Chain A
């Protein structure tokens, strides 16, 4: 009876090394992901007004920004506020009618001047916007209320957010748009009217 079972030892050593390699690869890959994620993000590309922006499900063309005393539907603003209206052309690039157009535009930075999410109007009808249909471009007005005692900003900085298309998502295997990411920044000068 040999003192050490050399063959058995070697067998178990090989097994342990093989297991160790797999574990080591997993640790290295996950560390790599963390490092990549911690890299400071790239500067968002700046676009000129009236330049078309491809934003995943939407094509957006920011046009101009202005201050009005009335809402885009013609109704007056509540006492003590004015309307900051940004007009843009939006086209639904997907295969379905969509009503999630509000996730595209954001005011950056979200200061006291432009609180909350804007209200969207269809300029053609002068009514609240409800749905945008595939391949039909519409002029849309996004309205933020601006208090009278707040100074009117010289410029409005907007960011455009895009999602990417996944033909099969991870939960239902159904197509959808996921992973929102800022893809464009636009600075519009604010005109005064009324």
Chain B
């Protein structure tokens, strides 16, 4: 009787261990997914092929910019988050194509394509090693409740596979009490 009980216990323990191993293995997408490089605003973050430094973050209800001689105004139901950043290439010519605003509840907002022709937009610019860092704007359109405690994810491609992803925490005191301007002129920001 004791022996049967012993066998059953051994089987139960083995089953428990196997279940724990199966549940705790990350999915294939995570195993072959991005390799994070963590930092905060103002840090020089070094990923595999590029370096990134975030400088400032501004919020506004409307954006104004001029492109191809025409004025454009963009409004939104949420707020515009305009991030000033510097990118530089490390060793090879590279283009950084992806930036995502991850809110406090892990909702992800890709950089806005409504302003992709605005002056000073940084994503998609070719970076060459040895040249001075390129400074420009990364612009997001987010609901007002996603402003606090956010993280910026920057990588070369949209879904980095075994490649670096810079994870920059935006919850520094500078962004804590976000002042939302009524209108931000991107022409003036780009000239700075």
Contacts and interface: CB of A to CB of B under 8 A. Distances in A.
B143 A124 contact: no
Contact of A174 (B27, B74, B76, B112): B27
Contacts of A172: 27-29
B107 A135 contact: yes
The contact size tier of chain B is 20 to 34
B78 A136 contact: yes
Contacts of A136: 76-78, 141, 143
A96 B103 CA distance: 11
A96 B75 contact: no
B108 interface: yes
A174 B114 CA distance: 29
Interface string A122-141: 10110100110111111000
Contacts of B143: 135-136
B106 interface: yes
B142 to A, nearest CB: 7
A133 B144 CA distance: 13
B77 A95 contact: no
A122 B114 contact: yes
Interface of B: 27-29, 74-78, 100, 106-110, 112-114, 141-143
5 closest residue pairs by CB, A with B: A173-B27, A174-B29, A97-B110, A130-B113, A134-B107
6 contacts: A125-B74, A130-B113, A133-B110, A134-B108, A172-B27, A172-B29
Given A130-B113, A134-B108, A172-B27, 15 more contacts: A95-B106, A95-B108, A96-B107, A96-B108, A96-B110, A97-B100, A131-B113, A133-B110, A133-B142, A135-B107, A135-B143, A136-B78, A136-B141, A136-B143, A173-B29
